[in-house]
């Protein structure tokens, strides 16, 4: 595997991990005695281990399988099983990530240090922790939970609940719990623009080896260190992503500002010889800029409308942004100039009811 492919794979795994964690931000509830038994299982959690299967956007039905381990101090370990193996270790409190990959006998360690993350974003990251989300299930109103009765899953008697969530990405959640213990057995999320994420194999409050969460780099790995500055996101980050895409892939804008899809598409095009491979630095800067765009969506209303737009088209809108509490929208066009407009003067392709969700990218 070429070095860029390893770097791209590592970036994809980290981005997918973050995406997988982000979609766990939900609001839940409970309604019955049986649900109350479930709630009792989800308080004072020390550790959590589970399996995840999720679609890879834009990859024709391909999926990613991983094993997640979390402990209550904000550290997480993700083991990617397919389509390629990798291990990523997150320290949510400090914003540090270590990703370890191996291909054709070559070992790569990618160290990411996220700087400039505002305090409210650190709070959001903590909320991404599935362990914390399970605890929130025990603390919300009963109105969002529908008891769907008993079922049998893989020979195990379970009770199924359907949860309606107003979360940014996850709309509907199904939860299966063990009829005897009340512990989660399976969870499914329907995610707008992505598909269904399935979580199984839950193990709660087991003693996990601290070495599993160590950020020390094992011997024999080539080390790549990357400082990711996430402070002060702006439309310039959108421009940076699209400039890189145009430089590498050609003048037509991507279908989505999706880090996983974009990096995999560039890597596949490079493998076919259709485009040059992005450099290591370009790959990592792409990941940084897309991360900053995700923060931009938290600061206001955003919408990417650039699919199929040709670079240089000054009349075609590509991205629309309105900062929180701002009156005017900023519109980025195909030649990368920016105009400020009122809602009444938004381009026809823009929806003034834009929602700040990663699904828009």
Residues near 67 by beta carbon (within 8 Å), at least 6 away in sequence: 49, 50, 51, 52, 78, 79, 81, 201
Which of 176, 174, 169 lies closest to 24, judged by CA?
Answer: 169
Architecture of domain 3-211: Clam (2.50)
Does this model's pTM top 0.75? My answer is: no
CB 179 within 8 A of CB 61: no
pLDDT at res. 169:
44
Q: How many CB atoms lie within 10 A of CB 72?
A: 15
Domain boundaries, the chain: 3-211, 232-360
> How far apart are the C-alpha atoms of 166 and 330, rounded to whole Å?
27
Instruction: State the average pLDDT for the chain.
Output: 76
Q: What is the pLDDT of residue 114?
A: 78
Query: pLDDT value at position 230?
Result: 76
Half-sphere exposure of 32 (CA within 13 A, CB side): 12
Q: What is the pLDDT of residues 15-45, one digit of tens each?
A: 555 444 433 333 333 334 567 777 777 777 8
What tens digit of pLDDT does each residue of 39-79 get? Answer: 777 777 888 999 998 877 555 667 788 899 998 887 889 99
């Amino acid at each position: 595997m070429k070095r860029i492919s390893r770097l791209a794979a590592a970036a994809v795994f980290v981005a997918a991990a973050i995406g997988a964690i982000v979609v766990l931000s939900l609001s839940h509830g409970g309604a019955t005695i049986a649900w109350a038994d479930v709630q009792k299982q989800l308080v004072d959690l020390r550790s959590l281990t589970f399996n995840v299967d999720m679609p890879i956007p834009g990859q024709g039905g391909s999926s990613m399988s991983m094993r997640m381990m979390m402990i209550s101090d904000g550290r997480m370990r993700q083991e990617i099983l397919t389509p390629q193996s990798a291990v990523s270790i997150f320290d949510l409190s400090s914003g540090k990530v270590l990703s370890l990959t191996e291909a054709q006998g070559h070992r790569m360690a990618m160290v990411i240090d996220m700087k400039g993350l505002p305090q409210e974003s650190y709070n959001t990251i903590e909320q991404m922790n599935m362990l914390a989300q399970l605890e929130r299930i025990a603390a919300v109103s009963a109105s969002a939970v529908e008891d769907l009765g008993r079922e049998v899953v893989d020979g195990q008697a379970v009770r199924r609940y359907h949860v309606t969530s107003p979360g940014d990405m996850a709309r509907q959640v199904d939860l299966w719990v063990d009829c005897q213990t009340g512990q989660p057995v399976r969870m499914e999320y329907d995610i707008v623009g992505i598909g269904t994420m399935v979580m199984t194999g839950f193990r709660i409050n087991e003693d996990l080896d601290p070495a599993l969460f160590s950020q020390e780099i094992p011997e024999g790995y080539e080390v790549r260190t990357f400082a990711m500055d996430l402070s002060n996101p702006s439309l310039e980050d959108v421009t940076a992503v699209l400039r890189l895409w145009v430089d590498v892939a050609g003048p037509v804008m991507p279908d989505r500002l999706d880090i996983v899809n974009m990096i995999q598409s560039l890597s596949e095009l490079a493998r076919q010889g259709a485009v040059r491979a992005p450099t290591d630095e370009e790959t990592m800067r792409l990941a940084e800029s897309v991360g900053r765009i995700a923060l931009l969506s938290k600061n206001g209303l955003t919408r990417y409308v650039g699919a199929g737009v040709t670079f240089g088209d000054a009349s075609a809108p590509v991205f629309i942004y309105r900062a929180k509490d701002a009156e005017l929208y900023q519109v980025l066009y195909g030649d990368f100039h920016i105009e400020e407009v009122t809602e009444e003067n938004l381009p026809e392709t823009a929806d003034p009811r834009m929602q700040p969700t990663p699904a828009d990218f």
